[in-house]
Amino acid sequence: MAEWLALVQNETIKVWKKKRFAFVVLVLLVLIPVFVYAQMKIAQNSAEKFKGDWRAELQNRITDNTRALGSERIPEEWKKWRRALVQQLQYYLDHDMNPNTPNAVTFTRGYLDNSVTLFIPLMVLAIASDLVSGERSTGTIKMLLTRPVRRWRILLSKLVTLTLYVSLIIVTNAALCYLISGLAFGYQGWGEPIFTGFRVSGADVNVATVHAVPQYMYLLMQAGLVWCSAMTVAVLALMVSVLVRSTAASFVTMMAAVIAGTVLTNMASSWHSAKYLFNVNLELTDYLQGTPPPIEGMTLGFSLAMLGIWAAAGLAVSFAVFTKQDILN
Amino acid sequence: MNANPIEGGDIVLSVQGLKKNIGGKPIIRGVSFDVRAGEIFGFLGPNGSGKTTTIRMLVDLIKPTGGRVLVCGEDVSRSPEKALRHVGCIVENPEMYGYLTGWENLEHFARMQKGITRERILEVAEIVGLDKRIHDKVKTYSLGMRQRLGIAQALLGSPKLLILDEPTNGLDPLGIKELRAFIRRLADEGMSLFISSHLLSEIQLMCDRVAIISHGEVIAVGKVEELIAHADTYTLWLLDQPGKGRGMLAADPNVRLVGEHEHRIDDAVLAGMKEAIVTVMDEDRIPGMVAELVRAGVEVRAVQRVTPSLEELFLSLTEGEGIG
Q: How many residue pairs bridge chain A and chain B with CB atoms within 8 Å of each other?
A: 79
CA-to-CA distance for A109 and A223, rounded, in angstroms? 9
In a domain, A159, yes or no: yes
Contacts of A53 (CB under 8 A, 6+ apart): none
Hey, of B13, B54, B61, which one would you mutate to test binding to chain A, going by the most A CBs within 10 A of its CB? B61
Which residues of chain A carry a pLDDT beneath 50? none
pLDDT tens-digit profile of A256-289? 999 999 888 877 667 888 889 998 899 898 888 8
Decide: B248 and B298 in contact? Cβ < 8 Å. Answer: yes
Hey, of A8, A147, A328, A329, which one would you mutate to test binding to chain B, going by the most B CBs within 10 A of its CB? A147
Task: Answer yes or no: do A9 and B111 touch at CB < 8 A.
Answer: yes
Contacts of A304 (CB under 8 A, 6+ apart): A228, A284
Enumerate the residues of chain A whose CB falls inside 8 A of the CB of residue B22.
326, 328
Task: Answer yes or no: do A14 and B85 touch at CB < 8 A.
Answer: no
In a domain, A329, yes or no: no
Q: Mean pLDDT in chain A?
A: 87
pLDDT at site B243: 87
| DSSP code at position B283 | G
Q: What does each of the 324 residues of chain B score in pLDDT, given as a tens digit?
A: 444 434 445 899 999 999 999 988 999 998 999 999 999 999 998 888 899 999 999 999 999 999 999 999 999 999 999 999 999 999 988 899 999 999 999 999 999 998 899 999 999 999 998 888 999 999 999 988 999 999 999 999 999 999 999 988 888 888 889 899 999 999 999 999 999 998 888 888 889 999 999 889 998 899 988 887 777 788 889 888 888 888 888 888 888 888 877 777 777 777 777 778 888 888 888 999 999 999 999 999 889 888 777 777 777 776 644 333
pLDDT at site B321: 46
Task: Answer yes or no: do A146 and B89 touch at CB < 8 A.
Answer: yes
- Find the helix or strand (DSSP H, E) in which A187 lies: none
CA-to-CA distance for B94 and B76, rounded, in angstroms? 21
Shortest alpha-carbon distance between residue A145 and chain B (Å): 7
Beta strand pairing call for B256-257 and B234-239: unpaired
CA-to-CA distance for A172 and B323, rounded, in angstroms? 76
Residue B25, φ and ψ in degrees, nearest 5? -95, 135
Enumerate the residues of chain B whose CB falls inside 8 A of the CB of residue A3.
114
Closest Cβ–Cβ partner in A19, A143, A326 for B109: A143
CA-to-CA distance for A84 and A201, rounded, in angstroms? 10
Owning domain of residue A273: 2-324
Enumerate the residues of chain B whose CB falls inside 8 A of the CB of residue A145.
60-61
How many domains does the structure of chain A reveal? 1
What number of helices (H) and strands (E) belong to chain B?
12, 14
Shortest alpha-carbon distance between residue B203 and chain A (Å): 24
Task: Answer yes or no: do B112 and A148 touch at CB < 8 A.
Answer: yes
Buried b (16+ CB within 10 A) or exposed e, A103-138: bbbbbbbbbbbebbbebbbbbbbbbbbbbbbbbbbb
Task: Answer yes or no: do B61 and A9 touch at CB < 8 A.
Answer: no
